[in-house]
Amino acid sequence: TIDNLQTGKPYEFRVKAKNAAGWGDYTKLDRPVTLKPDSVAPSSPGMPEVKKVGKDHIELAWTSPTDDGGAKITGYIIEKKLIGSDQWVKALPYMSVDNNATITDLPENSEVEFRVKAVNKAGESEPSSTTGRVKITEYPNGRVPTFVKKITDTNASMNSEAIFTIEYDSNPIPEVKWFRNGSELITGGRCRITTNADESKSILTFTETWESDNNSKISCEIINPLGKDSCEANFHVKTPPKISREPDEQRVSLGDTLKVKIPINGKGPFTFKLKKDDQSLIDDDRVRIQEYDDYIAVTIPDIERNDGGKYSLNIANDSGSCNVPLKVKVIAPPVSPTGPLEISNVSKDHATVSWKPPKDDGGSKITGYIVEKRDTSKGSDAWIPVT
């Protein structure tokens, strides 16, 4: 054990051995070691909650830090600050060993903020969030604001209306604040806030939802001199379907299965309409369109010649639609040359045979033709190539 080392200072150590032949080489650490204390200051405790207010006192309660810093919490320091002052001072001459305290001898009708620090053997934590301003006065039948109805997760279509509603119980009447992703909202533009104290209700309305609203957080705070409460909900906007790129041309051998994955952005469920060569296709067992989390699969089993062509897949949800072009080429032997065959320049020992190319080249360029002849006096299988 090596003593008299300083915390926070890096050290290197090395060791060598000795025997009758002398000293060996040193063995060293891979890197310096910085000594750390066995504990650090705790994290901040929870925001103090106002339990009761009188004409010259207040009762507070708070939750313990989420991290005690590796050592037992020995107490809490409660601090106060009068509104109009920049100075935080101790509200009690001693630490509270519990998660609650009563602060007395406060000026009546004054407005005060409170915060709490946790203490362990390594030191004090950072201060908690503050209570906000609390008026020190008697509130007959006073009640800390609480939610009777909280906002809930909401899904809305793009460019539609979205509404969030809360109901509360509070005495005196609370101040109501609405937030989106932590930024306070006010009435204006597409945002409308209506608070009815007689009904103990507040409504936040977005008259038009935007794509940027998707996956945002909507929160509400209700505050009176006795304390505050808050709630939060997720806001999802169903964005219209979009594809990042068009599918490549699909080349499929005759009789094989076509399966195309089309990556898709947007919120389902989706509806589908499929056209081929500008003609609508009815749903059948041959063409299957399936929706997955992040892509659409189009499947056609047992590909036939007439499955080749230009397709258009319309993908739609409540917020919009997009069209996906899909070109399919069926690879197969060509069909018969277009007839009838024409015979010309007939003489005693030769004739000219002509024809038109096949109507379907099988998906690739015609590289040649085989011409055969048959003596009609012989059997139907007596075809031989023309040399």
Domain spans in the chain, listed from the N-terminal domain onward? 49-135, 144-238, 250-331, 338-385
CA 187 to CA 194: how far, in whole Å?
8
- Higher local confidence (pLDDT), 91 or 135: 91
- Higher local confidence (pLDDT), 306 or 180: 180
Kindly report the pTM of this predicted structure: 0.53
Residue 94 has pLDDT above 90, yes or no: yes
In the structure, what pLDDT confidence band is assigned to residue 322 with cuts at 50, 70 and 90?
very high
Tokens describing residue 301: 């089993």
In CATH, 49-135 is 3.30.70.1230: no
Residue % of the chain over a pLDDT of 70:
99
Q: Is 131 helix (H, G, I), strand (E, B) or coil?
A: coil
Residue 355 has pLDDT above 70, yes or no: yes
Mean pLDDT to the nearest integer, 354-374 = 89
Tell me the DSSP string of 169-229.
Answer: EEESPPEEEEEETTEEE-SBTTEEEEEETTTTEEEEEESS--GGGTTEEEEEEEEETTEEE
Residue 387 has pLDDT above 70, yes or no: no
Looking at residue 12, its pLDDT comes to 86
Mean pLDDT to the nearest integer, 20-27 = 86
Asked, colleague to colleague, whether 49-135 and 144-238 share their fold, the answer is yes
Backbone angles phi, psi at 35, to 5 degrees: -75, 135
In CATH, 144-238 is 2.40.50.1070: no
- The per-residue pLDDT of the chain, averaged, comes to 90
pLDDT tens-place string over residues 127-151? 999 988 888 988 888 888 999 999 9
Looking at residue 118, its pLDDT comes to 97
CATH architecture of 250-331: Sandwich (2.60)
Looking at residue 238, its pLDDT comes to 86
Looking at residue 227, its pLDDT comes to 79
Mean pLDDT to the nearest integer, 10-16 = 86
CB 315 within 8 A of CB 322: yes
Work out whether strand 89-90 and strand 75-82 pair parallel, antiparallel, or are unpaired. antiparallel
Residue 283 has pLDDT above 70, yes or no: no
Residue 284 has pLDDT above 80, yes or no: no
Q: How far apart are the first and last CA of the chain?
A: 102
Which DSSP letter does residue 5 get? P
Mean pLDDT to the nearest integer, 283-308 = 87
